[in-house]
C-alpha cells in the first residue's frame, strides 16, 4: 500500500475525527445505529481501496459487518430505510440536508446499495467511487449541526419518533 494512495489519506481523515464532545448515549438509538453503520461502511470501502483485501484491517471489518446484518433487523431499525423514503416525500428540503450517503443508499429511487459491505453508487459501473465522495460523506457525518439532529430531542430524532408513531397506528 502506497502512502500516496488518496483513499488511505481519506481513511486517515476519518480516523482523525472524534465524537468526544458529543453525548452519544443521548442519540436516538436507531439513528445512532445507522450513523455508526454508515461510518463502518465508509471505513470498509476505504480500507478495500487502501489495503490488500486480506489485510488484518479488512478481515476485522468483515467480522463486524457480518454481525451488523443481524443487528439491522432488531427493534425499530428496520423502519430506517422507509423513514428516509418518507422524509424524501414529506419533507424534501430536510431530506436534502441528510448526509449524501444516506440519501444514496436508503432512497428507494437510487440504485446505490451496499454490496458485500462495500458502498456501490452505480451497480453498472466498474469505476472506483471518486475520492471526493468519501471526503464529503465524512464531513457531513461529523458536521456539528448534523450531529445535533441525532439526539432523541434533535430535529431528526423527533422526525423519526413521529414516523415511528405513524407506523404504529
pTM here is 0.80
Looking at 43-57, 75-89, 102-116, 120-134, which range is the least confident one? 43-57
Residues 80, 12, 111: CA angle, nearest 5 degrees = 35
* Per-residue pLDDT at 102: 97
- Going through 66-150 in order, the beta strands assigned E by DSSP cover 113-115, 118-120
**Is 1 a residue whose pLDDT tops 50?**
no
Which residues span the domain enclosing 49?
Answer: 6-15+26-168
**Could you tell me how many helices (H) and strands (E) the chain has, helices first?**
9, 2
CA 147 to chain centre: 13
Give the position of cell 446505490: 112
Our count of domains for the chain comes to 1
**Is 2 a residue whose pLDDT tops 60?**
no
**Residue 57 falls inside a structural domain:** yes
**Residue 1 falls inside a structural domain:** no
What is the band of 101 on the pLDDT scale with cuts at 50, 70, 90? very high
* Per-residue pLDDT at 90: 96
Amino acid at each position: 500500500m502506497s502512502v500516496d494512495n488518496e483513499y488511505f489519506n481519506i481513511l486517515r481523515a476519518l480516523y482523525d475525527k472524534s465524537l468526544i464532545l458529543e453525548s452519544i448515549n443521548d442519540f436516538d438509538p436507531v439513528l445512532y445505529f445507522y450513523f455508526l453503520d454508515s461510518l463502518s461502511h465508509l471505513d470498509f470501502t476505504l480500507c478495500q481501496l487502501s489495503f490488500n483485501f486480506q489485510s488484518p484491517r479488512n478481515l476485522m471489518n468483515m467480522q463486524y459487518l457480518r454481525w451488523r446484518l443481524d443487528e439491522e433487523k432488531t427493534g425499530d431499525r428496520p423502519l430506517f430505510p422507509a423513514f428516509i423514503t418518507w422524509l424524501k416525500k414529506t419533507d424534501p428540503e430536510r431530506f436534502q440536508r441528510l448526509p449524501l450517503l444516506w440519501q444514496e443508499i436508503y432512497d428507494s429511487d437510487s440504485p446505490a446499495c451496499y454490496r458485500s459491505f462495500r458502498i456501490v453508487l452505480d451497480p453498472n459501473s466498474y469505476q472506483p467511487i471518486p475520492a471526493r465522495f468519501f471526503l464529503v460523506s465524512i464531513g457531513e457525518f461529523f458536521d456539528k449541526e448534523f450531529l445535533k439532529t441525532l439526539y432523541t430531542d434533535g430535529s431528526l430524532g423527533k422526525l423519526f419518533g413521529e414516523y415511528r408513531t405513524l407506523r404504529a397506528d
